[in-house]
Amino acid sequence: MSKDVSVELIACLQELHLPTMQAEFQTLALAAQQESSSYPSYLLELAERECQQRRQKRTERLLKESRLPLAKNLQTFDLKRLPTKVVQQVRTLLTGEFVQRQENVLLFGPPGSGKTHCCCALGQELVRSGQRVLFTKCNALVQALLVAKRDLTLKTALRRLTSWDVLIIDDLGYVQQSREEMEVLFALLAERYERGSVLISSNLPFSKWEAIFKDPMTTAAAIDRLVHHSVILELNIPSYRIEQAKKNQSKTEDE
């Protein structure tokens, strides 16, 4: 390739914002020459590398924005611990079709059963397929909404939260929240209703949600909105932490 062509090509690729093609066109041109590849297959290889790089960058950006704890991923999640029905449900959810249908996912189970890990693993896989996901602890979310309410920016805050493809609200009802706190949470659920998927984990079955939403009407309305289009995962299994602790203990006893 002549020097003039290279210089002009670099300028063009810069103007077109194609940094990977710019970085790799010379090396790939040499390889193509040696392998006698056709012009289109050379161009295809180069374009594919640009696309790949872009997808990777986008995934990295989305993962950062999502605030998902990265260690809780699908590779570190032992699906064999889950009831067979839940494994099937998780596999279906991993296809991401529920996000297109704007369905919700509700995960129930005792502390340590793996609700948070399951949400996060699912969230990360959705990010990798290009979805915009936000992970929040219910308490932190509610506190942020209360601050927004105080600053008279609740509407904007709620609208911003509806822009995510998937909103993960972890640990609903872990602590007994006040009425004001629940009002903002309810406002969020109402705002997102049929506009995007919500993934909620909770230690409390629906029958105890009145402790969260305070009065029977609000509780029924919240459950109604969430359940309308939803998948319910019941992780009625023992705590992973306790199981691990027991295993470790019996190991030390054996030694």
**The entry of Mg ion, ligand ADP, none that residue 156 binds, CB within 5 to 8 Å by partner kind:** none
202 touching Mg ion, by CB under 5 A:
no
Residue number closest to ligand ADP, CB atom: 114
Sign of the alpha-carbon dihedral angle for 13, 15, 17, 23:
positive
113 touching Mg ion, by CB under 5 A:
no
How far is the CA of 18 from the CAs of 11, 130, 183, 191, 204, in angstroms?
A: 10, 20, 48, 39, 51
Choosing from 20, 22, 89, 116, the residue that interacts with Mg ion (CB under 5 A) is: 116
Structure token digits, residue 213: 């939403």
Sign of the alpha-carbon dihedral angle for 69, 179, 212, 87:
negative
Q: How far is the CB of 120 from ligand ADP (least distance, A)?
A: 8
Applying CB under 5 A, the span of 3-11, 111-119, 142-150, 239-247 interacting with Mg ion comes to 111-119
User: Quick one: DSSP state of residue 156?
Assistant: H
Nearer to Mg ion, 137 or 149 (CB): 137
Residue 13 · residue 22 · CB < 8 Å? yes
**Contacting positions for ligand ADP (CB under 6 A):** 72, 76-78, 81, 109, 111-117, 240-241
Nearer to ligand ADP, 109 or 173 (CB): 109
Count CA atoms within 13 Å of residue 225 on its CB side: 21
Question: Residue numbers of the site for Mg ion (CB under 5 A)?
Answer: 116
